[in-house]
């Protein structure tokens, strides 16, 4: 008996002797049982990984033991999905823990574990024996008669193994495996360097003029100065409201240089290794390799999309810049010819206040976080006929984290759960994201219910004032919850098509759709209540918000185009082996695409986290927005809270996940081919 078999039997014996697997290790909890995050330790993380790899080895053995003539969809393709599910069982929550847990030892253990699991997964995707088993099955009469998602699954898996170099020589396959493992390690380092980075700007009383008293009180130090850190609740209000241009410049310089010392060399390595990988697999660039499986399919299509859109908004950008320059001229009493990066937030906010009489601080007073949570959950419950119930005394990783269970009202069935981790703290993921904890999958006896975690960084309540969100933060909240609903409502029979496992340039569409509800009076008046009086947001303030919505849509869209072309350029038309630095690309593209010149000695790319998970694919945000507006136009026509429309959207798109191509899902919902008319209207063009 091999050592691996002995370990496997030992694990089975230990598990069977426990009343609950979670008594031994939280990450190996029972089927459809919540994870006990309070019991997590570095030791049981290691045990979970070892146990998982042994279980995966057993699945591989079972898959490969099947005779050629006996291969079926169930004993071959479904085994591949079982492998993914077994690996993701600890990998998903560990990836989350590495981003949010308060204990450094647990974060480090989680990150190390994720790397091991990713490397194992890379090895699976490079396993020639599994690929050969797939090819044998693909030649069978059963395989040739497959239809629907099953045929798609077979085709996708065959293509995946080919894209991993399984048709290459043994030596080249080894290079591909080595490159993938290295890239996983470097991407994890890149992320961690951003989340663990901290810096603070200390300012005097005259440098914080313009900020409200509650902001100042929360940041006042013993020596009478004010500590402005780089978290969103600290950074953005200062950039918008501080009357000190010099202080805004210094804060922005710190913000744009986050993690630069560690991440600039890591990024160069990542870009080099990605290019090596793409070339090894027969593609001229990593972007070309990545886009092959997207809706866009080619880099040429993406460049055309971005450049055509940039051309379409140029006139609007010019008009918007004229307004900003006119305002700056009046403010400074000198002819203004340029708006600098550290000035844009300030003058954009000032323009909204003067032109539309819109004060962002006044708007915040209507978005107390408790009311926002209620509004978000209630609107989604009403729309999709769901019921969310908060779990008391939940076993979570921090006292501020909330856990909810979701039920289908029609059947009263529990369909999944979600966590809300909403406030900033040291060493926590610094942006907003939806993390998978458990992904949906059908098993012979039951369906694995999905669980997700919403991680945000909204301002915490203080003794003087409750947590109040900007309207942009409310949009972010709804956006990320949209990703969560995509996961929560999945009915995919396999994990590899569950929830958000769709084409990369479509994945943002369902999340962006929910942002639109935050502009609708019928929704806002139910939860946008003044934190002191309880009165709903008045019509005149809402009208100002709507009037200002597209005030600077040209400039804001140009910024998104810049991010998209930057990510694409770094992975397509840039030689990471040459002398040109990534920062030179940043400066060149920012000056060419946006109306705000590059700020010398800053290195935005060092904290551009989307370069890891999305690679070259940041364009997907704008690409998805085209479909977002087309989808929402149907809701606008039929009623934004129309359950019939919501049910069609749920069944045609959300429940399907990746079981069909995104283009087909869109056609099923729209009843026609999608177009960009609603998108163009949404920009005010």
Backbone angles phi, psi at 448, to 5 degrees: -70, 115
Q: How many CB atoms lie within 10 A of CB 455?
A: 22
Q: Looking at beta carbons, which pairs linking 631-635 to residues 24 or more positions away fall under 8 Å? A: 631/509, 631/513, 631/666, 631/669, 631/670, 632/513, 632/516, 632/678, 633/678, 634/669, 634/670, 635/516
Alpha carbon distance 606, 267 (integer Å): 7
Instruction: Give the closest residue to 472 by CA, choosing from 233, 215, 145, 254.
Output: 233
| Helix or strand run (H / E) with residue 451 | strand 451-455
Q: Looking at beta carbons, which pairs linking 636-640 to residues 24 or more positions away fall under 8 Å? A: 640/516, 640/517, 640/520, 640/522, 640/523
Handedness of CA 283, 288, 293, 297 (dihedral sign): negative
Q: How many CB atoms lie within 10 A of CB 625?
A: 22
Q: How many CB atoms lie within 10 A of CB 451?
A: 26
Alpha carbon distance 226, 200 (integer Å): 10
Bridge partners (DSSP) listed for residue 386? 408
Instruction: Give the closest residue to 89 by CA, choosing from 164, 179, 29, 40.
Output: 29
| Helix or strand run (H / E) with residue 454 | strand 451-455
Handedness of CA 292, 293, 299, 301 (dihedral sign): positive
Q: What is the DSSP string of 155-188?
A: HHHHHHHHHTTTTS-HHHHHHHHHHHHHHHHHHH
- Cβ-based neighbours of 20, under 8 Å, separated by 6 or more: 29, 30, 33
Strands (E), 363-443: 386-390, 402-408, 414-421, 433-438, 441-442
Q: What is the CA radius of gyration of the chain?
A: 26
Instruction: Give the closest residue to 343 by CA, choosing from 455, 258, 442, 245.
Output: 245
Backbone angles phi, psi at 220, to 5 degrees: -75, 135
* DSSP structure class, residue 427: T
Instruction: Name the token pair of 471.
Output: 């309207």
Alpha carbon distance 567, 302 (integer Å): 11
480 is catalytic: yes
Alpha carbon distance 362, 501 (integer Å): 39
- Indicate which residue of 306, 320, 480, 503 is catalytic: 480
Rounded to 5°, angle at Cα 592 from 587 and 595: 95
Would you name the residues annotated as active-site residues?
Answer: 480
């Amino acid at each position: 008996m091999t050592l691996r078999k002995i370990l496997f039997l030992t694990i089975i014996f230990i598990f069977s002797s426990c009343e609950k697997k979670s008594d031994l290790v939280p990450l190996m909890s029972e089927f459809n049982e919540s994870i006990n995050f309070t019991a997590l330790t570095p030791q049981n993380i290691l045990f979970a990984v070892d146990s998982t790899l042994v279980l995966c080895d057993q699945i591989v053995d079972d898959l490969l033991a099947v005779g050629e003539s006996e291969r079926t969809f169930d004993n071959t393709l479904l085994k591949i999905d079982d492998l993914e599910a077994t690996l993701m069982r600890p990998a998903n929550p560990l990836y989350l823990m590495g981003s949010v847990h308060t204990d450094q030892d647990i974060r480090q253990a989680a990150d190390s574990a994720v790397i091991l699991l990713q490397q194992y997964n890379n090895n699976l995707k490079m396993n020639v024996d599994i690929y050969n088993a797939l090819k044998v099955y693909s030649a069978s009469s059963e395989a040739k008669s497959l239809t629907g998602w099953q045929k798609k699954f077979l085709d996708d898996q065959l293509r995946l193994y080919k894209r991993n170099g399984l048709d290459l020589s043994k030596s080249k396959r080894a290079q591909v495996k080595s490159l993938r493992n290295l890239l996983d390690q470097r991407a994890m380092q890149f992320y961690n360097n951003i989340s663990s980075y901290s810096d603070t700007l200390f300012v005097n009383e005259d440098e914080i003029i313009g900020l409200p008293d509650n902001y100042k009180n929360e940041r006042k130090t013993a020596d009478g100065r004010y500590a402005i850190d780089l978290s969103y609740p600290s950074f953005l209000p200062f950039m918008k409201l501080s009357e000190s241009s010099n202080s805004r410049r210094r804060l922005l310089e710190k913000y744009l240089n986050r993690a630069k010392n560690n991440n600039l060399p890591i990024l160069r390595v990542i870009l080099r290794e990605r290019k090596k990988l793409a070339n090894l697999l027969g593609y001229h660039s990593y972007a070309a390799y990545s886009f092959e499986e997207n809706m866009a399919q080619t880099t040429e299509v993406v460049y055309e999309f971005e450049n055509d859109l940039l051309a379409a908004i140029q006139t609007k950008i010019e008009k918007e810049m004229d307004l900003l320059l006119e305002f700056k001229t009046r403010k400074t009493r000198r002819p203004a010819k340029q708006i600098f990066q550290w000035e844009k937030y300030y003058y954009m906010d000032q323009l909204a206040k003067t032109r539309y009489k819109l004060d962002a601080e006044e708007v915040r007073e209507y978005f107390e976080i408790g009311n926002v949570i209620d509004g978000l959950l209630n609107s989604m419950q009403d729309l999709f006929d769901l019921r969310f119930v908060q779990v008391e005394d939940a076993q979570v990783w921090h006292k501020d984290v909330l856990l909810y269970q979701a039920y289908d009202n029609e059947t009263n069935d529990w369909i999944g759960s979600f966590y809300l981790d909403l406030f900033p703290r040291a060493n926590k993921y610094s942006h907003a994201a939806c993390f998978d904890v458990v992904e949906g999958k059908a098993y012979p006896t039951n369906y694995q219910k999905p669980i997700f975690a919403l991680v945000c960084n909204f301002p915490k309540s203080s003794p003087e004032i409750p947590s109040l969100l900007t309207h942009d933060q409310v949009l972010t909240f709804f956006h990320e919850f949209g990703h969560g609903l995509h996961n929560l409502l999945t009915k995919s029979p396999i994990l590899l098509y569950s929830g958000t496992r769709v084409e990369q340039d479509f994945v943002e569409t369902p999340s962006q759709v929910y942002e639109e509800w935050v502009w609708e009076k019928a929704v806002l008046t139910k939860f946008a209540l003044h934190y002191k009086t309880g009165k709903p947001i008045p019509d005149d303030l809402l009208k100002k918000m709507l009037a200002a919505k597209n005030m600077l849509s040209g400039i804001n869209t140009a910024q998104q185009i810049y991010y998209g072309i930057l990510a694409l350029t770094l992975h397509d038309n840039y030689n990471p082996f040459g002398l040109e630095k990534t920062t030179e690309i940043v400066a060149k593209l920012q000056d060419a695409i946006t109306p705000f010149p590059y700020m010398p000695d800053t290195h935005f790319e060092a904290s551009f986290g989307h370069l890891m998970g999305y690679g070259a694919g940041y364009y997907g945000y704008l690409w998805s927005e085209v479909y977002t507006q087309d989808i929402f136009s149907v809701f606008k026509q039929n009623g934004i809270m129309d359950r019939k429309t919501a049910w069609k959207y749920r069944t045609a798109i959300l429940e399907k996940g990746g079981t069909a191509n995104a283009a087909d899902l869109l056609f099923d919902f729209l009843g026609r081919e999608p177009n960009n008319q609603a998108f163009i209207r949404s920009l005010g063009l």
